[in-house]
Amino acid sequence: MSNTFTLAFVLKCCSILPAFEEGKQVHKHVIASGEMQKGGVEPDEVTMVSVISACAMTGALGLGKWLHTFIGKKGIKNDLEVSTALVNMYAKCGCIEKAHEVFEAMPVKDAKAWSSMIVGFAIHGLAKEALETFAKMEEAKVEPNHVTLIGVLSACAHGGLVVEGRKYWSTMLESGIEPSMEHYGCMVDLFCRANQIEEASPSSIRAPQCRELHTTFELICIGITLGENEHSKKANEREGNQGRSGCSSIEINGHVHEFVMGNWSHPEAKDIRGIIWEVSERVQSVGHEPWIASVLQNVGDGEKQDALWEHSERLAIAYGLLKTKAPVIIRVVKNLRVCVDCHEVTKTISKLYDREIIVRDRIRFHKFVDGRTIGELNLGGAFNTYGE
């Protein structure tokens, strides 16, 4: 990537953030420009926060790192908002250690900064660290907000900490924070992961009547046996909507490449197919049995196996194998939850190819090293129930 950028590009990044929130492909705009500085005006803290936030949303770690360096070189004030944006960006791009480093260096931390670090630990499956950070936040007399509690409850859910989750839930209610659908969703997830299905029902947690929450409950329960990328479609079809296609992206040399489930329109599709074929042969040779139950189409078993190999994260990982070599980490961002089979296949790939692979799905991060996942190392068998 070039060492210079134009202000016009910075402003363009800022202007398209709302479009990203509507589900459009912002990363193509974020990465697309070659030079960023011919406008002659230096960006300030406000523009930096916006562009760093775009990097966090898209998983564009390369550009995010460049911007961090750019801030230092240009003497842009690394204030509370900029530092918090950097914490969020590094956490959402899979660099939780760097996020923590930036966080620890902050002389002043407000609720947003504390929340960013807590949520960052939570999505990385680091429940202990998330709760310890929350305890430090309380010691610092900083009032938690609704995002803080989403991070805390999510950490409890991923860590299987039912007792702690109940405690924080009660504390939240007593403090006067009105639960949102996200909070209720965390409690549903907490109980479902602990196989306490009755406790997880919206009526048991005294949630308001809401079709969205009841659908969430159904999806998590179905998730015990199906990968979300398929059962989400099933739920959408039940509502009369078209199911969401799985979409994954990977950043290579400063450019973000997007892959859609079953779509072979990428310019290097032929080479990607070759890698997919090679990987599938090697994975099957070590005894992997495809988990075809997650494929709901009414087709034969062979076609179901082929469909699994067209999942978007596999295409992105294949492209990472094609374009990079160890020790470069393969980092993938996916819009849906990773299915059972993709989770197991990615573990196998990490061992067969001696590559570290980090996948950020809709819920959290999955780090694969030498045929294992950090989740399995930290959280025991919690993933085995839901096939993450």
pLDDT digits (tens, 9 = 90+) for 189-201: 888 877 786 665 6
How far is 31 from 261, CA to CA, in rounded Å?
22
Q: Are residues 260 and 368 in the same domain?
A: yes
Flag the least confident range among 174-183, 227-236, 300-309.
Answer: 227-236
Q: Are residues 190 and 296 in the same domain?
A: no
Q: For position 86, what pLDDT does the model report?
A: 97
> CA-based angle 327:387:20, to the nearest 5?
70
* pLDDT band, very low/low/confident/very high, at 20 (cuts 50, 70, 90): very low
Q: Are residues 258 and 207 in the same domain?
A: no
Task: Flag whether pLDDT at 98 surpasses 90.
Answer: yes
Given 67, 86, 108, the domain boundary residue is 108
Domain interval for residue 169: 111-222
Q: For position 303, what pLDDT does the model report?
A: 84
Cα torsion 236, 238, 239, 241: sign: positive
In a domain, 94, yes or no: yes
252 phi and psi angles, rounded to 5 deg:
-130, 120
C-alpha dihedral, 317 to 366 to 215 to 303, nearest 10°: 30
Task: Flag whether pLDDT at 272 surpasses 90.
Answer: yes
* pLDDT band, very low/low/confident/very high, at 213 (cuts 50, 70, 90): low
Given 93, 108, 123, the domain boundary residue is 108
Task: Flag whether pLDDT at 273 surpasses 50.
Answer: yes
In a domain, 230, yes or no: no
CB 55 within 8 A of CB 30: yes
Q: Are residues 356 and 265 in the same domain?
A: yes
* pLDDT band, very low/low/confident/very high, at 215 (cuts 50, 70, 90): low
How far is 373 from 331, CA to CA, in rounded Å?
14
Q: Are residues 345 and 264 in the same domain?
A: yes
How far is 41 from 223, CA to CA, in rounded Å?
51
The string of DSSP letters for 203-240 reads TTTTPPP-HHHHHHHHHHHHTTTS-HHHHHHHHHHHTT
Contacts of 172 by beta carbon, 8 Å cutoff, 6+ apart: 149, 179, 183
How far is 304 from 298, CA to CA, in rounded Å?
9
Q: Are residues 261 and 162 in the same domain?
A: no
Q: Are residues 1 and 104 in the same domain?
A: yes
| Total number of domains in the chain | 3
Task: Flag whether pLDDT at 35 surpasses 90.
Answer: no
Q: Are residues 63 and 120 in the same domain?
A: no
CB 373 within 8 A of CB 338: no
Task: Flag whether pLDDT at 187 surpasses 90.
Answer: no
Q: Are residues 60 and 90 in the same domain?
A: yes
Q: Are residues 137 and 200 in the same domain?
A: yes
pTM of the model: 0.76
Mean pLDDT for the stretch of residues 263-270? 95
Given 73, 108, 143, the domain boundary residue is 108
Q: Are residues 202 and 305 in the same domain?
A: no
Q: Work out the mean pLDDT of the chain and round it to a whole number.
A: 79
Task: Flag whether pLDDT at 366 surpasses 50.
Answer: yes
CB 129 within 8 A of CB 121: yes
